[in-house]
A and B are shown apart, each in its own frame.
Chain A
């Protein structure tokens, strides 16, 4: 493309848009350092008077951060692991194995992507409550609390992801068949073929899908809110941060909430900044189908 002059207009637009994107985060960080009475009153001041950490300390005291953090990490890790494994297995089957009903199953997987999540909140909750032989339930799922008392409840609706299967399958289709045939002739079973040949070749997709799933799982709010209402012991970090809103001293609430938020987005932010190349590629890939 011939660029004849310096793209002033483009720079203006992009930079002002970027500023618009960054300013709320900067406000969040600045507010997290403000003292009582400095925020929420007119006239508005951007910078805090001093950069002390008392709000951070209060946030950490008010919340049980280690537990919240642990719950979030465990739930996210389980979901990410499960999605990666199931997507890879299913994607391989759909891409490289020949069997009756393959097209039907593939279309089935595609169709699962069109159901909106809110349709399932109620039934999923009930299924977990009445899970047989869990949390005090009998064989028919009556009497107890089901799986809602354990951290498993946070993960169950998300363990398998149609989009992940789709992504894997599209990628795996391009793996040359000869390599797989060679391995089979050498005496490898399908599982070994999958594990030793296909999986290493899918590393970029694995990282991408893993990242996408990780971020989505970490940020999941509504389902976590529901499960946490039933059992506060399995509360995740995003839900827990909202508890800061009820801090006793109303003049310090907002700064403390901001401090809590900064703490809660740091992990994802760091992971994202380290691996952003893959994440971005993944999003771009999904749009090119």
Chain B
């Protein structure tokens, strides 16, 4: 055999696809041929260059969820979207309709504030805009002190006062068709409010660059979900807290196995493969925390990590 005949074998050698006999013959040749050894190096370098330039891609979360959902619908094991907010909530149409509805809500609040002089105490303005597509920030005045006049709600530990049985309610929440059950910028107040309505400890991280908007309790199948909305520099951050009887149920979130492994080990799972939003998940003491945001991913991650660190160190 001459060098030209060995040349094709070099490709297979770089791919580790030679049969034993070929390997033996080629090894012997490479030991005495500098020319072919160099060609082999080029072959390896080309493979490495391609791999480095075009690394394998990960399916974005919402694409994965959409596809699984469609097969489930086809199988008849699912009749409606389980987590529609994962796939739709950042869409501009929702964001715009949300902004319009929020504006109507603002008007409603302002109107009521004018009509009730006792509610003229200092109000904190929390920015509650939608996506980048909405150019104007819309401010939602949150009467912090006036909330003190509210009657304390009775504690319910069995089932939460669910707005409805479906998580599609969250879409309505974002569209402004349903206001947050509790509209407040006071962390402790919201924490207590939510804790009284779910049967697991609710923890709201204190995130330095995020303003609290409010919260809501909902239900997914048999699980209670506490949802908290923050605003981060004009973007939404939604933090959910829930429990699962078995972590196998994580499959319900369409999580890839790698993510489930990470979570079961007690680490954060971050999915920012989608250009529109990022999702951060974490399990602590049987409670699953997951945050969805269309804000800057790095900033939100930092905020979350810092917030939860504060909670944990305070315990």
A binds B: no
Interfacial residues, chain A to chain B (CB-CB below 8 A): none
Interfacial residues, chain B to chain A (CB-CB below 8 A): none
